[in-house]
Structure 1
Amino acid sequence: MIGGQNRPRRVQALAAAMAAVTMVVTGALVGATPAAAAHGCGGTLLQQYVYDGGFAQVDVYLENGTTNCLVNRTRGDSWGQAAGMAVAVSKSAADIPGTGSTNLCSGFTDTATRQADCSNSYTYYAGPVRIYAPNSCISFGARVNSGGFIGHQKWANRHCA
């Protein structure tokens, strides 16, 4: 019965390993803020652009000194309350529709110089979208659907390096 004697040790070791993994995962989830847990951007936070009366904001990061990473997210008491969200970034301001437009992503095709993430099902955040933009300005737009009202904001020629 050597196998029978070792089995409880294996079960105990497996249970201990599972408990350790559970503690690590639980600690990571509890300790993370919604924006940090959700967005997927790294690097340095350059600026947060609040729009739609404070319902949402765009976080702009610089990764590796050359790549901008953007996330559009709901904020504060609005966290998770959107009925759709989008974010788009480009090296050309002409690629981003003006403030108030409802068609941020209509006909938008991702290329090396412009990226978008759009869905009518996003409730927490849209993105991340990344653009390699050394020595370039970026322009970006964000859209949030909050209770049937679509808020859209455009920011042109920002974070020029």
Structure 2
Amino acid sequence: MSNVRTRAAALLGTMALATGALVGISAGPASAIPRTNYCGSAYGFLKSWPINWRASTGGYIDVYYNNTNGYNCVIARTNDSVIDSAWDIVVAARKSGGTWKTDGDKPGQHYTKYAGPLYVYAPGSCIDIGGSFETSGGGGATGYDNVHCG
């Protein structure tokens, strides 16, 4: 099993290199995969962005927003119709240009279905997001810049 801290660093490095090229890319709806709002009832779902795995979508990064308090909420989850077992799911988010927050990258954390929720305060600004996971068949990691500007 890979070192979780190394994976988190690799995720953040991947996002730093890849997200600039991904601005403006959007994903189709994630309607085939169950989505659960772990953020709280005050958070409305905005959109899901895919986590690439091989030639398909291995998971999703879900973004929710609370328009009352200005917080975004981010969750990474696997696509159960593609991934039958995963470990070390990681989610990352930040106010664009700010410091990354992560969940799932601490020693002893081995999330198997989702990571998060992460809350990012960014009224009048955009957020950047990322997600990754490991499986017995390899892993996937994807990051996006400026996904929600509110």
Q: Same-fold call, TM > 0.5?
A: yes
Query: What is the alpha-carbon distance in structure 1 between the residues aligned to residue 83 and residue 124 of structure 2?
Result: 34
Map of 2:51 onto structure 1: 51
* CA distance in 2 between partners of 1:91 and 1:78 (Å): 30
Verify the 8 A CA contact 2:96 2:125 in the aligned structure 1.
no
- CA-based RMSD: 2.3
Tell me what 1:152 maps to. Answer: 141
The answer on 1:131 being equivalent to 2:120 is yes
Identity of aligned residues (%): 33
Q: How many residues align?
A: 109
Cα deviation code 1:53-88 (max 9, x no counterpart): 211001100024411001000123246611211001
Q: Does 1:83 align with 2:87?
A: yes
User: Separation in 1 of the partners of 2:131 and 2:65?
Assistant: 18
Shift of residue 49, structure 1, vs aligned partner: 0.7
CA contact (8 A) 2:87 2:112 kept: yes
Greater strand proportion: 2
The gaps in structure 1 that reach 5 residues or longer are 1-32, 96-113
Give the number of the structure with larger relative contact order, counting CA–CA contacts within 8 Å between residues 6 or more apart: 2
The 8 Å contact of residues 44 and 61 in structure 1, kept in 2 or not, is answered as: yes
CA distance in structure 2 between the partners assigned to 1:89 and 1:80 by the alignment: 25
Any residues of structure 2 matched to 1:27-66 within 5 Å, and which? 35-36=35-36, 39-42=37-40, 43-52=43-52, 53-65=56-68, 66=70
Residue 129 of structure 2: which of 140, 143, 146 is its match? 140
Which of 101, 112, 118 is the aligned partner of 1:115? 101
Q: Distance in 2 between matches of 1:62 and 1:147?
A: 33
Amino acid at match of 2:78: T
How far residue 34 of structure 1 moved from its aligned partner, in angstroms, is 5.4
Q: Residue type of the partner of 1:35? A: R
The structure with more helix, counted as a fraction of residues: 1
Work out which of the two has the higher radius of gyration on C-alpha atoms and give 1 or 2. 1
Question: CA separation of 1:77/1:56 partners in 2, compared to 1, >3 Å: closer, same or farther?
Answer: same
Which residue, 69, 76, 82 being the options, matches 2:73? 69
Q: Give the TM-score normalised by structure 1.
A: 0.59
Offset, 1:115: 2.0
Mapped partners of 2:88, 2:137: distance in 1: 10
Q: Is the 8 A contact 1:141 1:154 kept in 2?
A: yes
Question: If the length of structure 2 is used for normalisation, what is the TM-score?
Answer: 0.63
